């Protein structure tokens, strides 16, 4: 495979924690590191960078927008997180702690940076039990000093980004069908079953969990069981355990350009109380410039006809697949 070496280099760069911040500018992985990510003015219109785009929370309520034939709100399409990336879970613009190269080092004071992804407890901290806090610190300290296998974040090994990291790890696509909502992430995918069946037997554990959902007005409510909890929450060592249970609420704005992901995590093995994660997202369309982070969707080859976004294969298997396919192919 001709491109193996190039893709391996890209993967290594990402594993080292560098390239996500390079995605601040348009053509993500071909751009040099941009350490001033956090300095980007929030008021500027989004141009494909990883910045803090301040939005007002989307309220739950009635859905007044378009519906699919089976009655589901029609929210299919391309979406991406609007706040930072996966580097730092509780301080999304705070960079990765202990980064020897200081990439993404915050230049603004904490109160002017994006809020923690933890919206409850109100202090934005994860309510770890003492043993779990010690483990998180160990994983965080080991992130740039991979002396043990568990210090390598699974995503860098091509594992699925899991829950909730999938929602701030590149843009993703939602496809809808009678009875299903399907997520196609940059690394991994998810089928949400809109039925009332019980979860899979408890001895089956999964990277993306077993997802049973239903619609309440403008809100897709999903109960996630069977999580193996192997995916990390960020590059800050944050983790959950196999006993985690997640209830997700995807609250879609009736304008169909925004939604808030609000998920409650309950994991008494590692945390003293449940916590809530909030991740605002926005829609991307063919009117947006493709870029290597939020919207890896080039225009389809459709000469003289409608402009259609082309969703190409995105496979990361042992470093051999298209990792940010648009960016890698653009580099050829």
Partner 1 sequence: MNKRRVVSSGLHRPVRRTCGRFDLGRLVLLIGLLVFSPVFSQSAQPTPAKIPRVPGGKPDFSGIWQTTSAADYDLEPHSGRKDAPPGAGVVEGNVIPYTPQALEQKKKNFDSRTEDDPRLKCWTLGTPRGIYYPEPFQIFQRPQDLTVFFEFGDSVRTIHTDGTLHPVDQDQEFWLGDSRGHWEGDTLVVDVTDFNDQTWLSRAGDFHDEALHVVERWTLLDANTIDYKATIEDPKIFSKPWNLEVYLYRHREPNFQLIENYCYTLDYDKYYPVPKE
Nearest residue to 328 (alpha-carbon basis) of 32, 34, 30:
30
The sign of the CA dihedral 211, 284, 83, 141 is: positive
Q: How far is the CB of 220 from partner 1 (least distance, A)?
A: 17
12's enclosing H/E stretch is helix 4-15
Q: How far is the CB of 292 from partner 1 (least distance, A)?
A: 15
The two tokens of residue 9 are 């280099």
Nearer to partner 1, 112 or 157 (CB): 157
175 is a site residue for partner 1 (CB under 8 A): yes
Q: How far is the CB of 264 from partner 1 (least distance, A)?
A: 19
Query: Residue written as tokens 């699974």?
Result: 154
Q: Which of 158, 221, 247, 286 binds partner 1 (CB under 8 A)?
A: 158
| 215 Cα distance to chain centroid | 22
- Separation CA 124–CA 122 (nearest Å): 5
Binding residues for partner 1 restricted to 210-229, rule: CB under 8 A: 228-229
- Separation CA 167–CA 281 (nearest Å): 8
Q: Which of 102, 123, 141, 195 binds partner 1 (CB under 8 A)?
A: 195
Nearer to partner 1, 56 or 332 (CB): 332
6 is a site residue for partner 1 (CB under 8 A): no
Nearest residue to 11 (alpha-carbon basis) of 303, 329, 321:
321
Binding residues for partner 1 restricted to 48-87, rule: CB under 8 A: 69
Per the CB < 8 A criterion, the answer to whether 67 and 80 are in contact is no
5 is a site residue for partner 1 (CB under 8 A): no
Binding residues for partner 1 restricted to 125-144, rule: CB under 8 A: 135
Contact region for partner 1 (CB under 8 A) — 23-31, 79-87, 109-117, 182-190?
A: 182-190
Give long-range contacts, CB 8 A cutoff, 24+ apart: 32-38: 33/101, 33/103, 35/102, 35/103, 35/104, 35/105, 36/107, 37/93, 37/104, 38/93, 38/94, 38/95, 38/104, 38/105, 38/106, 38/107, 38/108, 38/113
Q: Which of 193, 254, 274, 276 binds partner 1 (CB under 8 A)?
A: 193
Where does this chain bind partner 1 (CB under 8 A)?
1-3, 69, 135, 148-150, 152, 154, 157-160, 175, 177-180, 182, 184, 188-189, 191, 193, 195, 197, 200, 204, 206-208, 228-231, 239-242, 298, 300-303, 305, 308, 310-313, 315, 317-318, 320-322, 325, 329, 332
């Amino acid at each position: 495979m001709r491109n193996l070496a190039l893709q391996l280099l890209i993967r290594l760069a990402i594993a080292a924690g560098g390239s996500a911040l390079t995605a601040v500018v348009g053509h993500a992985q071909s751009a040099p590191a941009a350490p001033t990510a956090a300095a980007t003015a929030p008021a500027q219109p989004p141009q494909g960078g990883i910045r803090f785009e301040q939005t007002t929370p989307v309220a739950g309520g009635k859905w007044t927008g378009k519906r699919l034939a089976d009655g589901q709100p029609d929210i299919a399409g391309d979406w991406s997180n609007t706040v930072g990336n996966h580097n730092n879970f509780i301080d999304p613009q705070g960079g990765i702690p202990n980064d020897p190269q200081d990439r993404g080092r915050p230049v603004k004071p904490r109160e002017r940076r994006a809020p923690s992804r933890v919206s409850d407890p109100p202090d934005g901290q994860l309510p770890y039990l003492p043993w779990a806090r010690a483990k998180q610190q160990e994983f965080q300290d080991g992130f740039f000093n991979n002396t043990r296998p568990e210090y390598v974040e699974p995503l860098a090994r091509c594992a699925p980004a899991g829950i909730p990291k999938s929602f701030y790890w590149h843009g993703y696509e939602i496809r809808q069908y009678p009875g299903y909502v399907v997520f196609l992430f940059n690394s991994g995918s998810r089928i949400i079953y809109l039925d009332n069946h019980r979860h899979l037997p408890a001895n089956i554990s999964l990277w993306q969990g077993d997802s049973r959902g239903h619609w309440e007005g403008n809100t897709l409510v999903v109960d996630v069981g069977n999580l193996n909890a192997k995916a990390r929450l960020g590059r800050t060592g944050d983790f959950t355990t196999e006993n985690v249970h997640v209830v997700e609420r995807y609250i879609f704005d009736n304008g169909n350009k925004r939604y808030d992901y609000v998920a409650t995590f309950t994991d008494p093995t590692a945390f003293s109380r449940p916590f809530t994660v909030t991740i605002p997202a926005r829609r991307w369309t063919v009117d947006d410039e493709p870029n290597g982070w939020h919207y890896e969707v080039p225009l389809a080859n459709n000469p003289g006809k409608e402009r259609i976004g082309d969703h190409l294969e995105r496979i990361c298997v042992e470093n051999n697949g298209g990792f940010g396919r648009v960016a890698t192919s653009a580099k050829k």
